[in-house]
């Protein structure tokens, strides 16, 4: 759990980065219409949540910095009995005043009046450049004397790079639930017929354990389907001897997990599957072991490319020298993606990878990133040895950078051939 003090500290940190005589605004997410009067499930804007912990729509934070003096205003929707009857209780201004460590709380309907008043006296405005146009128009309407506009999202996202102990605890909880889900999938695969059934087993565990939702749409891809990187249809039959690539992670209290395992439906890897799997696993373990403060993600990617390419050569998937395969990027056909990404409030946490000047940001203690090498060998690629065609493998773990090196937060999820095979045979009651 993140306490109010921590949200306040985050806001204070943001203030320290803002220019004097500035007004900054961070809006909540809005409901998105699915059709007519039906909406998609609501999910708070991560940057707004990071600064407030507030879950309601129709709210925003305004930061005023006048000289060195700072003031934080929170706008929340007003309490309205009729509306609450349909959409649930609102916190309202009075309770918000007690709960949040901000200077003032107002009704959201008063926002325009306040903006108009403050904007006459500020030189800079910070807002999220990804805002929808109607809000931008509103901000610019009042901003006659403003000399420059800055993107507040970048500043917040930068803070989100280093996780606090409270955040790490929530990520660990998300991973704990996801661990159970993957273990259930390994066990259940042999008795199920369709990819979506396995997806249901996984997402049952998420919900059953209090996870708000998945952190991204689950991928359950049998055989050649695993060679479509963003396969989310999950509507095909599980083939008896095929591997199933499962990329699924829950979101717990707004924090993501992102885990991939590639498992045999039958409970036993064929020898060809095992050869490929152990090659990818060795790469994954090596790259994880390199994680430490100071190292750059591009170095991890370079090493992963080298090792995977060598693996492809050893298994006769590529028939050329390592030097040539790397120079001509021949590996890209079978390993087209990056080695990993930041993770936190979002599965692909929106934190920058480079400084303003374009320099890559090295890893630091407190960052969380995924490591996820893979190999994707389409069924119809005649250049690949026949036994490997139609196999796609990815292995993905969530790694915390620590002072001394790293902690693999998902280390308890079965991963070696032997662990996966023996879990598949276990009786359900022991899971």
Active site residue ranges: 37, 230, 247, 258, 337, 341, 348, 372, 376, 394, 396
DSSP structure class, residue 354: B
Q: Alpha-carbon distance 95 to 125, whole Å?
A: 29
**Residue 251, interface with ligand GLY (CB under 6 A)?**
no
User: Which is nearer to ligand GLY, 143 or 347 (by Cβ)?
Assistant: 347
Residue 265 contact among Mn ion, ligand GLY, none, beta carbon within 5 to 8 Å by kind: none
Residue 178 contact among Mn ion, ligand GLY, none, beta carbon within 5 to 8 Å by kind: none
* Alpha-carbon distances, residue 328 vs 314, 315, 325 (angstroms): 18, 19, 5
**Residue 258, interface with ligand GLY (CB under 6 A)?**
yes
Residue 216 contact among Mn ion, ligand GLY, none, beta carbon within 5 to 8 Å by kind: ligand GLY
Minimum gap (Å) between residue 243 Cβ and ligand GLY: 17
Q: Are 398 and 410 in contact (CB under 8 A)?
A: yes
The residues near 167 (Cβ < 8 Å, ≥ 6 apart) are: 2, 255, 344
Q: Alpha-carbon distance 81 to 186, whole Å?
A: 48
Q: Alpha-carbon distance 20 to 6, whole Å?
A: 24
Can you tell me which of 128, 195, 214, 247 binds ligand GLY, judged by CB under 6 A? 247
The residues near 297 (Cβ < 8 Å, ≥ 6 apart) are: 338, 339, 340, 353, 360, 363, 369
Q: Within 333-362, which residues bind ligand GLY (CB under 6 A)?
A: 341, 347
Q: Alpha-carbon distance 210 to 174, whole Å?
A: 10
Minimum gap (Å) between residue 414 Cβ and Mn ion: 17
- Within 189-235, residue ranges assigned H as helices are 195-208
Can you tell me which of 56, 128, 195, 247 binds Mn ion, judged by CB under 5 A? 247
**Residue 258, interface with Mn ion (CB under 5 A)?**
yes
* Helices H / strands E in the chain, number of each: 13, 19
Can you tell me which of 370, 408, 410, 424 binds Mn ion, judged by CB under 5 A? 370
Minimum gap (Å) between residue 394 Cβ and ligand GLY: 8
Minimum gap (Å) between residue 30 Cβ and ligand GLY: 25
Can you tell me which of 100, 106, 126, 216 binds ligand GLY, judged by CB under 6 A? 216
**Residue 128, interface with ligand GLY (CB under 6 A)?**
no
Q: Alpha-carbon distance 202 to 196, whole Å?
A: 10
**Residue 421, interface with ligand GLY (CB under 6 A)?**
no
Chain residues in the site for ligand GLY (CB under 6 A) = 216, 247, 258, 341, 347, 372, 396
């Amino acid at each position: 759990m993140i306490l109010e003090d921590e949200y306040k500290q985050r806001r204070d940190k943001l203030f320290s980065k803002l220019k004097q005589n500035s007004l900054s605004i961070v809006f909540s997410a809005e409901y998105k219409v699915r059709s007519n009067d039906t909406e998609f499930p609501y999910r708070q804007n991560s940057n707004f949540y990071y600064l407030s912990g507030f879950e309601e729509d129709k709210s925003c934070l305004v930061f005023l910095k006048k000289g060195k003096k700072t003031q934080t205003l929170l706008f929340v929707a007003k309490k309205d009995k009729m509306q609450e009857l349909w959409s649930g209780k609102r916190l309202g201004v009075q309770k918000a005043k007690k709960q949040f460590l901000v200077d003032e709380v107002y009704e959201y309907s008063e926002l325009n009046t306040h903006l108009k008043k403050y904007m006459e006296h500020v030189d800079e405005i910070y807002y999220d450049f990804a805002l929808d146009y109607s809000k931008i128009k509103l901000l610019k309407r009042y901003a006659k004397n403003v000399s420059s506009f800055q993107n507040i999202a970048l500043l917040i996202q930068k803070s989100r790079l280093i996780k606090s102990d409270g955040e790490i605890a929530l990520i660990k909880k998300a991973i704990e639930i996801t661990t159970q889900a993957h273990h259930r999938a390994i066990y259940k695969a042999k008795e199920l017929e369709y990819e979506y059934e396995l997806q249901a087993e996984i997402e049952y565990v998420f919900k059953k354990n209090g996870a708000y939702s998945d952190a991204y749409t689950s991928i359950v891809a049998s055989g050649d389907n695993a060679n479509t990187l963003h396969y989310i249809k999950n509507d095909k039959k599980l083939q008896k001897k095929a591997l199933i690539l499962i990329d699924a992670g829950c979101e717990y209290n707004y924090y993501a997990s992102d885990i991939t395992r590639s498992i045999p439906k039958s409970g036993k890897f064929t020898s060809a599957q095992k050869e490929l799997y152990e090659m990818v696993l060795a790469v994954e373990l090596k790259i994880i072991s390199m994680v430490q403060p100071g190292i750059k993600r591009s170095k991890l990617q370079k090493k992963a490319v080298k090792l995977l390419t060598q693996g492809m050569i050893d298994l006769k998937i590529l028939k050329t020298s390592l030097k040539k395969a790397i120079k001509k990027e021949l590996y890209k056909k079978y390993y087209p993606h990056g080695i990993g990404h930041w993770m936190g409030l979002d599965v692909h946490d929106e934190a920058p990878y480079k400084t303003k000047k374009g320099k890559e940001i090295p890893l630091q203690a407190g960052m969380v990133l995924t490591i996820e090498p893979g190999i994707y060998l389409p069924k119809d690629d005649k250049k690949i040895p026949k036994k490997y065609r139609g196999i796609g493998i990815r292995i993905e773990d969530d790694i915390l950078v620590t002072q001394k090196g790293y902690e693999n937060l998902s280390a308890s999820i079965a991963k070696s051939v032997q662990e996966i095979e023996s879990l598949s045979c276990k009786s359900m009651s022991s899971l």
